[in-house]
Amino acid sequence: MLRLLASTCARGLGGGWGSRRLVPGGRARPVAGLCDLSRRLSRQASDAPRNQPPSSEFVARSVGICSMMRLPVQASPEGLDAAFVGVPLDIGTSNRPGARFGPRRIREESVLLRTANPSTGAVPFQFLRVADLGDVNVNLYNLQDSCRLIRAAYQKIVAAGCVPLTLGGDHTITYPILQAIAEKHGPVGLVHVDAHMDTVDKALGEKLYHGTPFRRCVDEGLLDCKRVVQIGIRGSSTTLDTYRYSRSQGFRVVLAEDCWLKSLVPLMGEVRQQMGSRPIYISFDIDGLDPAYAPGTGTPEIAGLTPSQALEIIRGCQGLNVVGCDLVEVSPPYDPSGNTALVAANLLFEMLCVLPKVTVV
């Protein structure tokens, strides 16, 4: 189902780490590797075995496999509460490609992340068993087939009781993911952060690309339309009534200019009331942020949200019944500094921190 980036921690890291060293007296003693330290820190955090990203106090950030937060990589979601999953697909893009490289670059930048969130009091790895499930093996020559492969992969993840946190990939991928999510949970609420509403019916005669995922979701009854909010919408359009379809379906559309120069904490208080206790999904297109902060994306629009507003939105989902999340449209070829991927990695960690099983200290 899933294509792994590297061998799992169960296989060890091999001799490249220098598996033994000499101690006084000439005896050889095993050297703790990344996986050993991860397991040891897990035991310290909880009596139950949980994966723990290694601390840079003990393991250099440049050491280890390129997984999300240097977590163990495994093939199966069984036994996991949550998992990071890459979907390296960008053949649904309408402008600048490159999002197929997003998952890898986000993983690279995630080495800077640590295990606790002092701002919110969340220590997710004390409450969740988390791993990196590698990448879905998409078909880069066939968008329809890729959606089939994504849906099948996520059906297995969701059936195992694992909450997926997805590294995209263009926004097309949210459609097959929500097919799998709704199959288990029924129509879900949606917190959608984006410069665009992605509710176009078709383009160039095609009904499936990164501008149509939520139109297709509505068509198939995957969304609870009265519990959908789209935040950060902006940019030029082909018509003046560009918001008509979303609003006619019952979506709440929050324009970027309604967010300028203000905290979004009050807005998220309203969103929490709107979402209630039923399942919701978070979909965050990195172009929801202003390109000054996140230039590495396919369809940038000026005058967007700030990173601090992004944190307010995600942290505002604390206490909601979040059953899945994604962060899409990071395009590394347009991100020479890596800053867009770094922002994305941090936002994914924030999503992990608001999952229902995480108790805020």
Q: Are 47 and 33 in contact (CB under 8 A)?
A: no
335 marked as part of a ligand binding site: no
Quote the Cα angle for 293-355-48, to 5°.
Answer: 125
- DSSP H stretches of helix in 249-338: 265-275, 307-315
Residue type, 142: N
DSSP collapsed to 3 states, 179-248? HHHHHHHCCEEEEEECCCCCCCCCECCECCCCCCHHHHHHHCCCEEEEEEEEEEECCCCCCCCCCHHHHH
135 is in an annotated binding site: no
Does 194 carry a binding-site annotation? Answer: yes
Separation of alpha carbons 119 and 230, rounded Å:
25
Total count of residues recorded for the chain? 361
CB 273 within 8 A of CB 193: no
Identify the H or E element spanning 343.
helix 339-353
Distances (CA, A) of 308 to 69, 122, 224, 335: 21, 17, 28, 20
Instruction: Single out the residue of 70, 62, 64 nearest to residue 33, CA to CA.
Output: 64
- Cα-atom radius of gyration of the chain, to the nearest Å? 20
According to the annotation, is 258 in a ligand binding site?
no
Would you state the structure tokens that stand for residue 239, as one six-digit string?
């018509």
Q: Please answer whether residues 317 and 191 qualify as being in contact, where contact means their C-beta atoms are separated by less than 8 angstroms.
A: yes
Q: Binding site: residue ranges?
A: 171, 194, 196, 198, 285, 287
Query: From the annotation, which residues make up the binding site for Mn(2+)?
Result: 171, 194, 196, 198, 285, 287
